[in-house]
Amino acid sequence: MHYLTARKRATGLGSGRTGTQFHKRMLGTSMALVVLVPLFVFTFFSGMGGSFEEVQAYFARPFPAIITALMLVVGVTHFNGETQEAIEDYVHGTKGKLLSMAVTALSYVLIAAGLFALVKLAL
């Protein structure tokens, strides 16, 4: 016979009080990506097909560089949030926490490497 109250049985199973905030953040990045993806595709493929010097000069202009940087940051941030949600849903315990930290670290490394490459190309 279990002598646990209903509150004791439900502890840890209820709301984490972050669902609305997460939803709004994902909605914001999704709406930003709706605008950024077509702009990125247009600007990225407009700069392709030339020599290295032409591509370098193209990405040295502010508009393509800013669109590319925004796409990189917003896209990887959205990837990180959705991946974190999948990890929380399907992987539990220490393995889930380690995987969550690894995905977050990978996301920051991707953003840093992409921005470094863009700055290196633009300058």
For the chain, which ranges sit under pLDDT 50? Answer: none
Check residue 6 and give its pLDDT: 72
Tell me the pTM: 0.82
CB 36 within 8 A of CB 74: yes
Q: Which amino acid is at 83?
A: T
Check residue 117 and give its pLDDT: 95
Check residue 19 and give its pLDDT: 75
Check residue 21 and give its pLDDT: 87
Question: For the purposes of burial, counting CB atoms within 10 Å of the CB of 79, is it exposed (0-12), middle (13-18) or buried (19 or more)?
Answer: middle
For each of the domains in the chain, give its residue range(s) and CATH number, in order of start: 19-122 (1.20.1300)
Name which of 43, 99, 47, 101 is nearest 72 in CA terms: 43
Check residue 14 and give its pLDDT: 59
Check residue 96 and give its pLDDT: 95
DSSP secondary structure code for residue 11 in this structure? T
